Amino acid sequence: MMAELSAPAQKVVALAGLGDLAEKLAAGERLDLADGVRLLETPDVAALGALANAARERLHGDVTYFNRNLHINATNVCEADCIFCSFARLETGHPDAYTMTLDEAVGRLRSLDGAFLTEVHIVNGLNPDLPFSYYTDLLSALKAVRPDVHLKAFTAVEIAYFAEKYGMTTEEVLRALVAAGLGSLPGGGAEVFADRARRKLCADKVSADGWLDVHRVAHRMGLRSNCTLLYGSIETLEERVDHLLRLRDLQDETGGFQTFIPLKFHAENNRLEKLPEPTALDTLRLFATARLVLDNIPHLKAYWPMLGTKVAQLSLWYGVDDLDGTVREERIYHMAGASTPQMLGRDQLMALIRAAGRIPVERDTHYAVVAES
Ligand code: V47
């Protein structure tokens, strides 16, 4: 079910030829593959935005969440050979490869010198030269410095890699990480689930079913997680919607996803350099379609370091209710050509949200409201 569309919005939607989908949504019916593709193809992005905004306002009104977080990418050494990636280096010893010592990684948190934050987000390469204790020690050392901070760490691709490399089940890996301080999983590594695209983009990392299964196990253990789609490289519109539907199916089963984050493909310094990047209109269409198809995932997040602050701000009228975050230092997209700043302060984030006519609310990882500190 959606919020009522205003009479002028109903007119715009009807003129765009989307009246039947508006009726379907108003009746609480779910969108299917063909519906999703129609939305992604519509030239009338304003009409699509009106539909998505109604769904967004039904869930969250004018509230737009943000959080204060720190990103750590502790190593870029990675065995996987994903053709879209500008961050990874295949081997330790490559001139651009790095692996932080635990002191260096924890120093990133320590150097904030007590500055307020609620979350550390950690995503790494699949490094063949590290023992499992590197990751558990990293989590416990971060917790020792700031016990109050939530650790959202390791994509499902990393978890699957740990299970295989260190001879454990997914559940054993997750139990050991939780014992060391893990609080939830980020949504990265999903890329595109469809076989055709996945074989081209990232043939040698965990399969779509493997990715989904790590999240299934995590959700059954009571952990929450996020999910993503890498859009705008070689995938078709059908493959984008297929990806959304597979996420929706798992969410029906477990209810453990908090947030969907579409990740916009950046084309510099990787093997897809010749591809044009998605336009702002493609981005708005995808966000709005995701809001409407993913009727069971509560939050839709715009990750401003990859979208740019202007498109991220605009997205707040195309389904988005969450702007990630202060971030502080981002490597994955900046190595792929993102020209956004490395961090936004709390005041800047709040001003950006207010200027869009929305209400900023600081959240923690589980969307509890954080009182001003
Ligand atoms: O899995 C890599 C993507 C992801 C490129 O859960 C690229 O809150 C675009 O996990 N162009 C990692 N994308 C990032 C990630 C994440 C980010 C923000 C929030 C959350 C969350 C999770 O980055 C990878 C991959 O899909 N990526 N290279 C590129 N050239």
Convert the pLDDT of each residue in 212-264 to its tens digit.
Answer: 999 999 999 999 999 999 999 999 999 999 999 999 999 999 999 999 999 99
113-138 pLDDT, tens digit per residue, is: 878 999 999 999 999 999 999 999 99
Question: Please, are residues 362 and 322 in contact by the beta-carbon 8 Å criterion?
Answer: no
305-359 pLDDT, tens digit per residue, is: 889 999 999 999 999 999 987 877 667 767 777 777 768 888 999 999 999 999 9
Same domain? For 194 and 275 the reply is yes
Q: At 322, is the secondary structure helix, strand, or coil? A: strand
Same domain? For 52 and 99 the reply is no
Q: Which of 210, 268, 292 is nearest to 26 (CA)?
A: 292
CA distance 287 to 174: 31
Q: At 347, is the secondary structure helix, strand, or coil? A: helix
Output the pTM of the full model.
0.96
Same domain? For 38 and 102 the reply is no
Ligand 1, from 228, 275, 301, 326: best to mutate by most atoms within 8 Å of Cβ? 228
Same domain? For 339 and 273 the reply is yes
Residue 2, in any domain of the structure:
no
pLDDT for the residue 333: 64
Residue 201, in any domain of the structure:
yes
Residue 29, in any domain of the structure:
yes
Q: How far is the CA of 190 from the centre of ligand 1 (A)?
A: 9
Residue 198 falls in which region: left (phi positive, over 0), alpha (psi -120 to 50) or beta: alpha
Q: Which of 170, 155, 168 is nearest to 216 (CA)?
A: 170
Same domain? For 297 and 357 the reply is yes
The domain that holds 118 is classified in CATH as: 3.20.20.70
Residue 1, in any domain of the structure:
no
Domain count, the chain: 2
Residue 352's identity, in one-letter code, is L
pLDDT for the residue 4: 76
Domain of residue 46: give its range: 7-57
Q: How far is CA 8 from the centre of its chain?
A: 33
Same domain? For 215 and 265 the reply is yes
Same domain? For 111 and 126 the reply is yes
Where is average pLDDT lowest: 17-21, 51-55, 57-61, 81-85? Answer: 81-85
Same domain? For 51 and 167 the reply is no
Q: How far is the CA of 263 from the centre of ligand 1 (A)?
A: 6
Residue 221, in any domain of the structure:
yes
Question: Please, are residues 184 and 223 in contact by the beta-carbon 8 Å criterion?
Answer: yes
Ligand 1: residues within 6 Å at CB? 84-87, 123, 155, 186-189, 191, 226, 228, 230, 261, 263, 265-266, 270, 303, 324, 332-333, 336
Same domain? For 154 and 242 the reply is yes
Q: How far is the CA of 131 from the centre of ligand 1 (A)?
A: 24
Same domain? For 226 and 347 the reply is yes
Residue 321's identity, in one-letter code, is D
Residue 284, in any domain of the structure:
yes
Which atom of ligand 1 is the closest one to the Cα of 87? 28
Question: Exposed/middle/buried for 169, CB within 10 Å: 0-12, 13-18, 19+?
Answer: exposed
Q: What is the mean pLDDT of the chain?
A: 94
- The residue contributing the CA closest to ligand 1 atom 6 is 186
Residue 42, in any domain of the structure:
yes
Return the half-sphere exposure (C-beta side, CA atoms, 13 A cut-off) of residue 320.
29
DSSP assigned state of 194: S
How wide is the angle at C-alpha 59 spanned by C-alphas 56 and 63, nearest 5°? 75
Same domain? For 305 and 206 the reply is yes
